[in-house]
Amino acid sequence: MPEILLGSIIISLLLSPQLLAGFLAKRTGRNFWFRFFISFLIPIISVIILIFLEDKNPQTESYKLADHVEKCNGTEITS
């Protein structure tokens, strides 16, 4: 039983750079699995590169108002 616990801790520590790179890639609009597998080859370097890459997600100005709500001079008017 202790071997299973120790093995799972070691596996999770070994996969942490890959998971970090994958989730960081997903957050910045890139492919999770591609960055996950690339980080097996260059684990720390791929995370550093992802930190400095530009975000590919489209920036939205604000939330979309409902059809029955109009925006007038910064205040919302419901009809």
Question: What's the number of domains the chain is made of?
Answer: 1
> Is 73 a member of any domain?
no
* CA 24 – CA 74 distance, rounded (Å): 35
Residue 63: pLDDT band with limits 50, 70, 90: low
> Is 13 a member of any domain?
yes
> Is 70 a member of any domain?
no
> Is 65 a member of any domain?
no
pLDDT in tens, 16-43: 889 999 999 898 888 999 988 998 888 8
pLDDT for res 10: 92
Instruction: Label residue 36 exposed, middle or buried (CB < 10 Å: 0-12, 13-18, 19+).
Output: buried
pLDDT for res 34: 92
> Is 74 a member of any domain?
no
> Is 31 a member of any domain?
yes
Provide the domain limits for residue 17: 1-55
